[in-house]
């Protein structure tokens, strides 16, 4: 409810009161002259005085004064001799008139004071309710970083203000969150002195609007300024509002710090997961190489045993190299420093390159590739092959020895689709959303797989560099299928022949 409608309603009620008191005077006059034939002027005067008193008690001064005058005229005309004229013969009549006026003044004064008190109490209650609602809203704000804008909005809404600005000093300026229907530009130079004001508020002018600046105090420390314009708000309420806003600001900053701490904790966790994973994967080949190298130095092995030990060293060095490549690729993905180099290639080249990169991990599986060969695609062959290699390696890890890993490549008008089908246990449903996350390994894996937990996440990172995507699904007849989609230009082989 806003002020104009309330004052309009008060005016209507005053008019009604005036009409009512006039009607009462008329009614008493008619009743006394026509039916009751009361001739005693004292009785009449007392009756009129009662009406004036009621009017003064329930309404404003002008209503009471109007009632007094009408009552006096009526008394004079109808009751005081000479009846029927407005002449005042007897000076006593002046006394009666003055008594009416005096009574109406005193009574209306008393009643208007009482009413003012009541209005004040009501508005206090109203503002306390707003403050309460505001503080509850603030406590419910959970968002930290963007909390200042909602805070300004809440203040504007709860207090029906046209403009609310929350100004926080920042290195080299002010951070201002604004809300409300009124567009104002605060003069930044006026803000700093206002914050230094020890007590009370300042009113400044901004684009023709009076803006109240209230320091936001947290304890004795000012943390910022609250600027409000629009409805007049009591000074005490403004102070309370400033206090609540200050708490909200502190809370938001605290939440922000906590969020930052949380983020850094998560990144620490990721780092230690990385370290644990890498440490485990480094240690095994290093141990094997160290022992095998010592065996090679010793005199006991025969030729056959020497060959075996050196093959072991070579295989483990290859494994270390793969791990090292993975770490490098991951670092490049993290640094966002993967460039793409688009070239026209046959999909079969990509599949072959990937098969080559996987190396010995596929030794114990059968590998079947079904590649559409008559179309060329324009992709980054190195990135695509590397991503495919990681997916094939993953499939090999999870497929029991001797069973097939199948790859097929399909070229559509605007994309290259590569899919890798394994014959492993499939991906448990709860793991599907996570398998492309770094270091995620199946939750219910009964067979420990000596992967780094990096392969699929690297594949996703590499593909993202060329706007490609990767997804996983379980096949109805067992095993999982990973699908890589790379958006690419494609054309028939003959077209390129003409080009070159």
Regarding 38 and contact with other proteins (CB under 8 A), the answer is no
Of 280, 307, 343, 467, the one binding other proteins (CB under 8 A) is: 280
Stretch that binds other proteins, among 26-34, 191-199, 220-228, 300-308 (CB under 8 A): 300-308
- Tell the residue number behind the tokens 């004079």, with chain if given: 76
Of 125, 265, 283, 467, the one binding other proteins (CB under 8 A) is: 283
Total of residues contacting other proteins (CB under 8 A): 28
Stretch that binds other proteins, among 277-285, 341-349, 395-403, 428-436 (CB under 8 A): 277-285
The tokens of 194 are what? 């206002």
Regarding 321 and contact with other proteins (CB under 8 A), the answer is no
Q: Which of residues 423-462 bind other proteins (CB under 8 A)?
A: 446-448, 450
Cβ nearer to other proteins, comparing 19 with 298: 298
Angstrom distance (rounded) from CA 318 to CA 43? 123
CB under 8 Å, gap of 24 or more: what pairs does 28-37 form? 28/74, 29/74, 29/78, 32/78, 32/79, 33/78, 33/79
Regarding 291 and contact with other proteins (CB under 8 A), the answer is yes
Cβ nearer to other proteins, comparing 46 with 291: 291
Min dist. Cβ of residue 453 to other proteins (A): 14
Cβ nearer to other proteins, comparing 292 with 488: 292
Regarding 27 and contact with other proteins (CB under 8 A), the answer is no
Regarding 268 and contact with other proteins (CB under 8 A), the answer is no
Of 203, 294, 321, 430, the one binding other proteins (CB under 8 A) is: 294
Regarding 312 and contact with other proteins (CB under 8 A), the answer is yes
The tokens of 7 are what? 């004052």
Angstrom distance (rounded) from CA 261 to CA 444? 32
* Dihedral angle sign, alpha carbons of residues 478, 438, 354, 393: negative
Spatial contact of 330 and 458, defined as CB atoms under 8 Å apart? yes
DSSP of 102-161, one letter per residue?
HHHHHHHHHHHHHHHHHHHHHHHHHHHHHHHHHHHHHHH----TT-HHHHHHHHHHHTT-
Residues 6+ apart with CB under 8 A from 145: 256, 259
Regarding 305 and contact with other proteins (CB under 8 A), the answer is yes
Cβ nearer to other proteins, comparing 123 with 284: 284
Cβ nearer to other proteins, comparing 113 with 321: 321
Residues 6+ apart with CB under 8 A from 95: none
Spatial contact of 392 and 355, defined as CB atoms under 8 Å apart? yes
Where does this chain bind other proteins (CB under 8 A)?
Answer: 279-280, 283-292, 294-295, 298, 300-301, 305, 308-309, 312, 315-316, 319, 446-448, 450
């Amino acid at each position: 409810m806003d002020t104009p409608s309330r004052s309009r309603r008060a005016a209507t009620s005053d008019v009604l009161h005036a009409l009512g008191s006039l009607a009462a005077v008329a009614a008493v006059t008619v009743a006394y002259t026509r039916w009751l034939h009361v001739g005693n002027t004292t009785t009449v005067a007392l009756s009129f005085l009662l009406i004036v008193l009621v009017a003064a008690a329930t309404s404003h001064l002008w209503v009471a004064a109007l009632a007094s005058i009408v009552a006096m005229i009526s008394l004079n005309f109808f009751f005081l001799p000479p009846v029927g004229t407005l002449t005042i013969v007897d000076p006593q009549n002046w006394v009666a008139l003055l008594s009416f006026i005096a009574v109406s003044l005193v009574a209306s004064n008393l009643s208007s004071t009482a009413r003012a008190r009541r209005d004040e109490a009501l508005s206090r209650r109203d503002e306390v309710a707003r403050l309460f609602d505001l503080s509850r809203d603030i406590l419910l704000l959970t968002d930290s970083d963007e909390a200042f804008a909602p805070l300004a909005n809440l203040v504007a809404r709860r207090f029906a203000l046209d403009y609310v600005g929350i100004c926080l000093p920042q290195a080299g300026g002010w951070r201002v969150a604004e809300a409300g229907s009124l567009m104002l530009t605060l003069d930044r130079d006026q803000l700093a002195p206002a914050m230094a004001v020890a007590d009370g508020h300042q009113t400044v002018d901004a684009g023709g609007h009076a803006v109240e600046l209230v320091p936001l105090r947290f304890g004795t420390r000012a943390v910022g300024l609250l600027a409000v314009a629009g409805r007049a708000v009591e000074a005490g309420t403004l102070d309370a509002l400033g206090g609540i806003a200050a708490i909200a600001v502190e809370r938001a900053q605290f939440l922000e710090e906590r969020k930052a701490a949380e983020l850094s904790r998560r990144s620490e966790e990721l780092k230690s997961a990385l370290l644990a994973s890498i440490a485990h994967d480094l240690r095994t080949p290093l141990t094997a190489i160290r022992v095998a190298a010592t065996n090679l130095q010793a005199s006991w092995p025969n030729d056959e045993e020497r060959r075996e030990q050196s093959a072991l060293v070579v295989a483990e060095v290859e494994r270390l190299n793969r791990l090292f490549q993975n770490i490098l690729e991951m670092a490049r993905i993290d640094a966002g420093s993967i460039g793409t180099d688009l070239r026209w290639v046959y999909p079969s080249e990509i599949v072959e390159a990937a098969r080559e990169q996987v190396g010995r991990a596929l030794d114990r599986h059968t590998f079947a590739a079904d590649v559409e060969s008559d179309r060329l695609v324009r992709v980054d062959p190195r990135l695509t092959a590397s991503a495919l290699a990681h997916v094939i390696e993953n499939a090999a890890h999870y497929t029991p020895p001797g069973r097939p890993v199948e790859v097929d490549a399909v070229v559509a008008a605007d994309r290259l689709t590569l899919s890798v089908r394994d014959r492993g246990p499939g991906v448990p449903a709860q793991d599907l959303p996570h398998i492309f996350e770094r270091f995620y390994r199946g939750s219910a894996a009964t067979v420990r797989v000596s992967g780094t937990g990096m392969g699929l996440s690297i594949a996703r990172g590499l593909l993202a560099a060329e706007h490609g995507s990767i997804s996983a699904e379980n096949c109805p007849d067992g095993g999982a299928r990973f699908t890589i989609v790379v958006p690419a230009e494609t054309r028939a082989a003959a077209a390129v022949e003409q080009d070159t």
